[in-house]
Chain A
Amino acid sequence: GAGVSQSPSNKVTEKGKDVELRCDPISGHTALYWYRQSLGQGLEFLIYFQGNSAPDKSGLPSDRFSAERTGGSVSTLTIQRTQQEDSAVYLCASSFSPGLVYEQYFGPGTRLTVT
């Protein structure tokens, strides 16, 4: 069946511009996670959604970062006024239910380059 999909696969933007990254989780998966993979920081947790709510936003690096999830499905991560340090691969993962019994399935990521 279809896995987690993310779009765009690559995004190049100028410093100061806003960007939106999209995640389509596996159908029926209620839990959704965003992670960031960068050379300097490795893989970091950003935010967790259960349904449309985000009980844990503790990994968002600044108030320029926000995310939403609608219909318990698609999620969008928005970065406002992008900075060069935002350059990274943004990974989305989903699981059938929160908790560690269920595997997190990862998408291929969006590679963001801020010039």
Chain B
Amino acid sequence: AQSVTQLGSHVSVSEGALVLLRCNYSSSVPPYLFWYVQYPNQGLQLLLKYTSAATLVKGINGFEAEFKKSETSFHLTKPSAHMSDAAEYFCAVSDRGTSYGKLTFGQGTILTVHP
């Protein structure tokens, strides 16, 4: 079964600093990979997804992620953090053998941005 590990349940950065949120998956066949963001009392919003095209994926709000097969990783980055980036971020995978997009999520990383 697919699994996803997000390293660090809490990450704190200064405004303007680099954001790096880590995600590793376990699968012998690279799955489809996603990053979602959840603001307080809201549903999840898709930031970006990897489905086997370019390994560097650009998403909304200045975020991007790089798929590295050799490291089974899909880390999320943003060059300069804004206060509005404070939220919880989830990495998710979907098995290529599943036709309907069933998602398996990591445990989430809460991002705090301080002035």
A-to-B contact residues, CB < 8 Å: 3-4, 31, 33, 35, 42-45, 48, 50, 55-56, 91, 93, 95, 98-109
Contacts and interface: CB of A to CB of B under 8 A. Distances in A.
Interface string B50-87: 01000000000000000000000000000000000000
Given A43-B105, A108-B41, A48 B100 contact: yes
B106 A99 contact: no
6 contacts: A33-B103, A35-B103, A42-B106, A55-B100, A98-B100, A106-B43
Contacts of A98: 99-101
Which 8 A-B residue pairings sit nearest by Cβ, starting from the closest? A106-B43, A98-B100, A43-B105, A106-B44, A42-B107, A100-B32, A108-B43, A100-B101
A90 B20 CA distance: 28
Given A100-B32, A100-B51, A100-B94, A45 B43 contact: no
B100 to A, nearest CB: 4
B102 interface: yes
B104 interface: yes
Contacts of B49: 100, 103
Interface in B83-115: 90, 92, 94, 99-108
Interface residues on B, range: 20 to 34
Q: Chain A interface mostly helix, strand, loop or mixed?
A: strand
Contacts of B41: 108
A95 to B, nearest CB: 7
A68 B22 CA distance: 37
Nearest to A107: B43
B45 interface: yes
A1 to B, nearest CB: 15
B65 to A, nearest CB: 16
